[in-house]
Amino acid sequence: MQICNNAKIHAKSDAFILAAESMNPIALDQLPPAALEHVANYFRTLSEPMRLRILNVLGTRELSVGEIAQQAPSSTANISRHLAQMARHGLIARASRGSSVYYRIADPAVHALCDLVCGSIARRYDQALTERAAFAEAQAEAAKTAAKPGGKANREAPSHAA
């Protein structure tokens, strides 16, 4: 499952809305300042495009830093830095196996949250495209009307002689 895949969002948006509703949300005005700081840090962690790429690469599987770096694409040092930040905020978990460390998404809410956000953005873009198409159609119609004999562009300007 990819973090932001519009085809999946449209097909599953109702399921994600139901999943989000079943998480017993707490209103922001009911959270103490320390909790709000934690929420802000969580969103700040998600605000970095490379971290979203990493989450997208991880999907529902476990991968090593090297595997993530190949698919992201970025250096292992850069990927490691981002993984450490995401681990600090509970988005991902790490498991050591022998000499390798594997990472996975630890918080299933990340999938729902990212899909909800991507769905919202997709709907806004769809709405903007619809509005632009209607505007372009109106402009084309106005241009056709003006080009016709007797249309606005072909009428003589009124004389202002006194």
Residue from 40, 136, 128 nearest 89 by CA: 40
- Domain that includes residue 85, residue range: 6-113
Q: Does residue 93 lie within any of the structural domains?
A: yes
Could you tell me the pTM of the whole model? 0.63
**Residue 97 parent element (H or E):** strand 92-97
In a domain, 131, yes or no: no
Instruction: Report pLDDT for 147.
Output: 79
Q: Which residue bears the tokens 């090593």?
A: 64
> What is the per-residue pLDDT across 124-143, written as a single tens digit (0 to 9) for each?
888 888 888 888 888 888 88
Angle at which helices 109-147 and 49-58 pack, to 10 degrees? Answer: 110
What is the average per-residue pLDDT within 43-69?
A: 92
Residue 151 lies in a domain: no
**Mean pLDDT of the region 93-111:** 91
Statement: residue 93 has pLDDT above 70: yes
How does residue 156 score in pLDDT terms, banded at 50, 70 and 90?
low
Torsion angles phi and psi, residue 33, rounded to 5: -55, -40
The confidence score (pLDDT) of residue 113 equals: 86
User: Which tokens belong to 139?
Assistant: 């402009």
Contact 95/102 with Cβ under 8 angstroms?
Answer: yes
Of the chain, the percentage scoring pLDDT greater than 90 comes to: 30
d(CA 137, CA 18): 38
143 phi, psi to nearest 5 deg: -65, -40
The domain tally of the chain equals: 1
CATH code of the domain covering residue 51: 1.10.10.10
Question: What is the model's pLDDT at position 39?
Answer: 85
pLDDT at 59: 87
For residue 48, tell me if it sits in a domain.
yes
Helix/strand/coil for 93: strand
DSSP letter (8 states) at residue 34? H
No. of helices (H) and no. of strands (E), the chain: 6, 3
